[in-house]
Structure 1
């Protein structure tokens, strides 16, 4: 496998993940909002400047994304207890609940639809489980 194949595989896995975990009427996020949300999920109670440093986005972009996501109920913000001028950002409880609910879904039907042969779908599931064991912390 080369880097190009790995990239295409990653994109395909993301596509399949969205099919398996998506719900009708899902909130549409821009790529920047998705990156901010992913960072906040990994680093709860971060400041806007910390999110900007990790994502590589300028602080004004992160601030605008956080404001939009907070307005839509995806993120929750509050003052930093140590420095009231600084805002801390975390995922809203409803966001964490939705993520947990979706993450628990099995991918069997999605893989069965992606490949025509049931035996191939079972093999793909086994291979993905093995990859997860090898590559995920």
Structure 2
């Protein structure tokens, strides 16, 4: 496998992950990726600003601001004034997970993964293949969890 293949596999896995997430009550999924990238950065760097998140993630500041607003509304993060500069707000993971966070964490990838592995005629995937891919994903998750690998360049 080369870097391009790994990158494309990562995009495929992201799409399966997005499909596995329960619909929000509003019915609008919006940009799930930018919200998840933003949340991942906030968890890794609590007490950060929108500008710092944008610089680390490469997302436009407007997308990060929108994601932080959505995450705040969902109860995933809290914001507070920066004591060093009251014009800025610091973003932290919420101390207590909201009902939406609990719902997303409880959702499994089973149906989305089965759909991705379905035969070309739409029939269910081979159970052995489904089990093997599920086991491979569990292994990757153990070894490549966020923060387990040195920061990419």
Report the TM-score, using the length of structure 1 for normalisation. 0.72
* Structure-2 separation of matches of 1:17 and 1:132: 13
Note if contact 1:45-1:88 (Cα within 8 Å) is conserved in structure 2.
yes
Indicate if the aligned counterparts of 1:73 and 1:92 stay in contact, CA closer than 8 A. no
**Higher percent of residues as helix:** 1
Q: Contact 1:70–1:77 at 8 Å: present in 2 too?
A: no
Taking only aligned residues, the RMSD between alpha carbons, in angstroms, comes to: 3.2
Aligned to 1:123: 132
Structure 2 contact 42–92 (Cα < 8 Å) conserved: yes
- CA drift at 1:17: 0.6
Q: Tell me if structure 2 keeps the 8 A contact 1:52–1:62.
A: yes
Aligned to 1:46: 48
Q: Secondary structure at the match of 2:86?
A: coil
Give the unaligned 5+ runs of structure 2: 118-124, 149-153
Which ranges of structure 1 fall in alignment gaps of 5 or more residues?
none
Give the distance between the partners of 2:39 and 2:14, measured in 1 at CA: 16
Compute the TM-score of the two structures, normalised by the length of structure 2. 0.66
Report what 2:10 is aligned to. Answer: 10
In structure 2, what is the Cα distance between the partners aligned to 1:101 and 1:90? 20
For residues 1-137 of structure 1, the aligned pairs below 5 Å read: 1-23=1-23, 25-29=27-31, 35-56=37-58, 61-62=60-61, 65-66=64-65, 69-70=68-69, 73-74=73-74, 76-91=78-93, 97-115=99-117, 116-136=125-145, 137=148
Structure 1 residue 82, shift from structure 2 partner: 4.0
Seen in structure 2, the aligned counterparts of structure 1 residues 67 and 10 have a Cα distance that, compared at 3 Å, is: closer
Distance (whole Å) between structure 2 residues aligned to residue 54 and residue 127 of structure 1: 29
